Amino acid sequence: MNRGVFDSRTHTDLPKANLKKVLGDALEERDKNLGDFKIKGHPIRWMDLRGRFSQPHILLVGDAAGADPLMGEGIGMALAYGRVAGKAIKTAFQQRDFRFNTYKRQVMWDPVLLTVWVRVLLAGLSYRVKSPALVRWGWRFVGWVLRWTPWSRPDYVPVRPIRKTS
Ligand SMILES: Cc1cc2nc3c(=O)[nH]c(=O)nc-3n(C[C@H](O)[C@H](O)[C@H](O)COP(=O)(O)OP(=O)(O)OC[C@H]3O[C@@H](n4cnc5c(N)ncnc54)[C@H](O)[C@@H]3O)c2cc1C
């Protein structure tokens, strides 16, 4: 199992969280010592709406094109990028035109990928929140949504709720 933490308050002038301490405290609750483990850091490259997604003979997909900056999700998006890129490559071969001029538009209007740029806009707003209480409430709200979605749309999120046995 991997355990990870991040500080989402990227645009505030508040001091950043001490992530090693936060992670260490969380591990201690599980009788684990942070010193016994190797710590790794990973950047998440988010989508920039002004970014360039292609140039002649080159397409960016997945993280290279940009993931969701709100929740750090990119797996579903990487698959969607693959679908859009596959289609663009097929069309390029059919038309013998490898400029990929319309690729960015296809990315932006793909039903899955358009949720990324909506999340880019939402992240721009939510990362400006300075109040710790509001941030806490925001994450609590996300928790409710995550529990509500599989219940209300089991076809969309096929996850069964965990039932406590005792
Ligand atoms: C800590 C962390 C937690 C995450 N949690 C989630 C999550 O819970 N849910 C979610 O949806 N997303 C999550 N993500 C994001 C998600 O992992 C990525 O968005 C997704 O894996 C991107 O897929 P990709 O195929 O674009 O890139 P990658 O999965 O990075 O694949 C790129 C591959 O290319 C290989 N490669 C690189 N250079 C070369 C080269 N020159 N030649 C050949 N191969 C090369 C790499 O080794 C790698 O295997 C998380 C990311 C991180 C860092």
pLDDT tens for the chain, 166 residues: list them: 788 888 766 666 778 889 999 999 999 999 999 999 999 888 888 898 899 999 999 999 999 999 998 888 899 999 999 999 999 999 999 999 999 999 999 999 999 999 998 899 988 888 788 787 888 898 899 888 888 888 888 877 777 666 666 5
According to the model, what pLDDT value does residue 71 have? 82
Q: How many C-beta atoms lie closer than 10 Å to residue 123's C-beta?
A: 20
According to the model, what pLDDT value does residue 70 have? 84
Q: Which atom of ligand 1 is nearest to the CA of 61?
A: 26
- Within 6 A (CB) of ligand 1 lie 4, 42, 44, 62-63, 67, 72-76, 78
What spacing in Å lies between the alpha carbon of 142 and ligand 1's midpoint? 24
Give domain limits for the chain.
Answer: 1-42, 54-126
How far is the C-alpha of 91 from the C-alpha of 79, rounded, in Å?
19
What spacing in Å lies between the alpha carbon of 40 and ligand 1's midpoint? 14
According to the model, what pLDDT value does residue 138 have? 85
What spacing in Å lies between the alpha carbon of 132 and ligand 1's midpoint? 30
Q: Which atom of ligand 1 is nearest to the CA of 4?
A: 1
Mutation to probe ligand 1, out of 47, 63, 68, 83 (largest number of atoms < 8 A from CB)? 63
How far is the C-alpha of 134 from the C-alpha of 137, rounded, in Å?
5
How far is the C-alpha of 153 from the C-alpha of 158, rounded, in Å?
8
Q: Which atom of ligand 1 is nearest to the CA of 67?
A: 19
Closest by alpha carbon to 52, among 111, 11, 94, 108?
108
Helices (H) and strands (E) in the chain, counts: 6, 2
The radius of gyration of the chain's CA atoms, rounded to the nearest angstrom, is 20
How far is the C-alpha of 14 from the C-alpha of 10, rounded, in Å?
9
Q: Which atom of ligand 1 is nearest to the CA of 44?
A: 53
Strand 58-59 to 54-55 pairing: antiparallel
